[in-house]
Chain A
Amino acid sequence: MPAGDALSARQQDDVVRAIRLARQQSQLPVSVYVGTLEGDSRATALQLHGALGDEAARTVLIAVDPGARRVEVVTGSEARRRLDDRAAGLAAMTMTSAFQAGDLSGGITSGVLALAEQAQTAKSLHTDTPE
């Protein structure tokens, strides 16, 4: 996909670094899409997540539509076990508060890091209800 000029080279580096950090610290593959989500934004985001192929189940997709002012966080079936919808919602809120101030790259970066942090917390097995 062609590189958008909405993010400067340095901002793109920041996002790439955050994605790398998430993978290193939490073994969480994160994919970030910034662009228009045509039609139903949720359905489009799910389609984009499906396009990730074999990795999709383990991957979290952050889809940002700055024009429509929407952000969608899609967790794959495996990723969802580590990141419940509450954690995804928290990361989405982290991002929107930065987006409101016009800080696109900063919001994405902190959103990716928030997801990584949430995924990092190990489950305490003795208090979890068995599935």
Chain B
Amino acid sequence: MTARTALRTAATVAVATALVSLSSTPAFAATHPDDGGEPGAGLSVIETLLIFVGIPAAMFIAVVILVNASSRARGPRYRPGLGWWAAPIWFNGPDDADVAVRTATATTGGGGASARW
């Protein structure tokens, strides 16, 4: 190690030590307060309730609404065993179904199948 390098090292250590010890003195603390070190005005009861009860409750309700919205918009859906509520619907059926059914004669000579579930 040359004398030059030793000098540079000593200078660096001295400056660093001086900075640390200077900034930790009571006089320095008095003129340079830490961030958040000074307490602000306290929260009122209403503000406290609003922040710590109102906001979580609002978020909870928002999630519930989002979850329910899609099924609510779709209306009641068919569930096996819970009965049937809707009006009959006939795809590709006769134009005037009520009259057609009343005046029709039941099909004979046809086939098919029945099933239950």
Contact = CB atoms under 8 A, between A and B. Distances in A.
Interface of A: 1-8, 12, 15-16, 19, 29-36, 41-43, 45-53, 56-57, 60-61, 65-77, 79-80, 83-85, 88-89, 91-93, 95-97, 99-102, 104
A69 B78 CA distance: 11
A99 B75 contact: no
B5 interface: no
Interface size class of B (residues with CB under 8 A): 35 or more
B90 to A, nearest CB: 5
A8 B74 CA distance: 7
Interface of B: 74-75, 77-81, 83-94, 97-98, 100-101, 103-117
A92 B115 contact: yes
A100 B117 contact: yes
B54 to A, nearest CB: 37
